[in-house]
Structure 1
Amino acid sequence: MNAIKKYLGIVWMALAAAVAYYSYEIFGGKFATGKQEDLVFAIIIFFVLLPLIVSGLAIFGWYSFKNEYED
């Protein structure tokens, strides 16, 4: 079971990197449109939601990889 947790920890960390990359690719164009509603949406995504999501996935993956959830 611990081996599965380690592998899934790597999967969660890879998922965090993938979410960061694809969010940048998808929502990155919102900054350049010139519309105010797109700019506000992009700022909320990039500076509020994206750091929370990516850091949560990465921390969970790191702890799972290091067997912190063993107890």
Structure 2
Amino acid sequence: MDGIKKILGIVWILLGIAAAWFGITVLGLPKLSSGKQDDLVFGIIIMFILTPIITGGLLIFGKYALQGEFSEENA
């Protein structure tokens, strides 16, 4: 079971990297450069609030899973 948790730790880290890329390139930058005020507000919220929270959470969760923090013997 600990092996599966470590593999899923890698998956969470990869998802965190993918979420950062998606949040910046697909949702953030195009909205910031569109010129509309509604898009600007949405782009700022995505780029500076949601993307760091989502990415940081996934990366930290993956790091802890790789370190074995969720193993049965630590309970």
Give the Cα separation in 2 of the matches to 1:68 and 1:14: 19
Aligned to 2:57: 56
Unaligned runs of 5+ in 1: none
The alignment covers a number of residue pairs equal to 71
Structure 1-normalised TM-score?
Answer: 0.95
Superposed CA deviations along residues 8-37 of structure 1, whole A, max 9, x for unmatched, are 000000000011112222122111111111
Runs in 1 of length 4+ with deviation above 2 angstroms?
A: none
Unaligned runs of 5+ in 2: none
Structure 2-normalised TM-score?
Answer: 0.90
> How far 1:66 moved relative to its partner?
0.4
Give the Cα separation in 1 of the matches to 2:24 and 2:48: 12
Give the Cα separation in 2 of the matches to 1:24 and 1:48: 12
**Which stretch shifts more, 23-32 or 38-47?**
23-32
Aligned to 2:19: 19
State the secondary structure of the residue aligned to 2:6.
helix
Aligned to 1:45: 46
